[in-house]
Amino acid sequence: MTPLEEFEALDRIFNVIKNYRQQREGNLDPLNNDLVKAYLANHLLSQDLQLWLRLEAQENLSEFLRHAETNWNVKQLLRQFKRDAHGLIDSWHQSHSLN
């Protein structure tokens, strides 16, 4: 998925979430993620759902790593990985820019 396609997919995802909230206006249970996931699975295009699940998994991993008690060496490796990944993302954006 290109960044533009991901942006368009996020717009569709946000619209589905907005519709869900409007339908459940008085009955929202913010702690019941299963209802939200089921609604998204039924109302999103397959590629949009895959993007949503990937973003959710990244958020869950990030949250886990923020709160995990890891030793110093693992934290150093994670920081290095993040720096390297950020550099790769920057390179990709530069190579695909419309200059």
pLDDT band at 86; cut points 50, 70, 90 = confident
**At residue 30, what are phi and psi to the nearest 5 degrees?**
-65, -15
Cα-trace Rg, the chain: 18
Q: Nearest to residue 47, comparing CAs of 20, 19, 18, 8?
A: 8
Distance CA 99, CA 89 (A): 17
pLDDT tens readout for residues 42-80: 999 999 999 989 988 888 777 776 766 656 666 777 778
